[in-house]
Amino acid sequence: MSLTAWLRRLVPERAPGPEPSASPGAWMDLLPAGLEPVGAALLPGEDGSRLSVSAGLRVATAAEMAVGYEAGAVLPREPWRPMTRAERDRVLCTDPDPARDVAVVRLPPGSLARIRACGEPVEVLSDLRSVCRLDGSLDVLGAGSNPPGRQTVTIAPETGRSIGMHLDSWDNLPLEARGLSSNRICVNIGRESRFFLFVPVSLMDMPALLAERLGPEEPPADTPLYRLFMAMFPEIPVLRCRVDPGEAYVAPTECLVHDGSSLGQTGLDEQFTVRGFITALPR
């Protein structure tokens, strides 16, 4: 059986709109004792209102594949809702682990104009160092853009098709060493808010949950672990974090199933990205 057929058997195609679901926050009960969701460190004084929660995961519909999604792509299932108090208590953190958690930082005044105007990307690293510690060798990917109004933005260059929720593999380390991978900072240099989407379970924690649920079910050979997890746990939500112009997210995208989103934008979704070993400075 192909991976696509196997995914569709376990995660049936669903329309994007509402459907009956468990009570908000019930997904946290799936996490074994001692396993915490991926944390989110927001700006000082924030209560979590920039975060919203999907109704789970779903496979892209035939209509979505017809407009560019690859077969088997997994997307957030709507509707989105605010976080519950219990979710805020479990997810919000103040001391993010750069190999596990997500942080939002705000660059100093003037940074956005400098980044937009820079001739050499390395010239803006001092602005990033005002809010983050940048260690090791840095890979300045620089500026990029996406069309507005896209529920996810990443496209596979070899096929030109949207891949949906995915895992980066720039460093391509094995599972047992993934926590040593580089992470990224991505600055919103556009003029409208954009979103960072992520599944709130670290790649390193997925095997423990899969071992309990998979039982005798045999996935196709070479099934990526993160795709297997999303197929077996469609009730796990996606968290959506708003990132305003002049703000950035810091995230371990080699350990976190994620994507960006330009929904709600009317102009280009513009961002500036640096990879390395990046830690948000204490608030």
The CATH number of whichever domain residue 142 belongs to comes to 2.60.120
Whether 9 maps to a domain, the answer reads yes
The predicted pLDDT at position 219 comes to 61
Determine, yes or no, domain membership for 241: yes
DSSP, res 155: B
In a domain, 226, yes or no: yes
pLDDT at res. 220: 62
Beta strands in the chain, from DSSP E residues, in sequence order: 40-41, 51-53, 57-59, 69-76, 81-82, 102-106, 132-146, 162-164, 183-188, 194-198, 239-243, 247-251, 258-261, 269-280
User: Low-confidence residues of the chain, pLDDT below 50?
Assistant: 12, 14, 18, 20
- Say which amino acid occupies 179: G
Record the tokens describing residue 134, joined without a space.
């940048």
CB-CB contact of 270 with 247 (8 Å): no
Does residue 26 belong to any structural domain of this protein? Answer: no
Residue-level pLDDT at 228: 87
Domain of residue 276: give its range. Answer: 3-13+48-280
**21 occurs within a structural domain:** no
The tens digit of pLDDT for each residue in 130-167 reads 999 999 889 999 899 999 999 999 999 999 999 999 99
**Distance from C-alpha of 144 to C-alpha of 188, rounded to nearest angstrom:** 10
- Asked if 254 and 169 touch (Cβ cutoff 8 Å), the reply is yes
In a domain, 40, yes or no: no
Under 8 Å between Cβ of 278 and 185: yes
Q: What is the DSSP letter of 13?
A: B
Q: From the CB of residue 218, how many other CB atoms can be counted at a distance below 10 Å? A: 10
Q: Specify the pLDDT at position 22.
A: 67
Q: What is the pLDDT of residue 20?
A: 43
- Residue 42 placed within a domain: no
- What total of structural domains would you count in the chain? 1
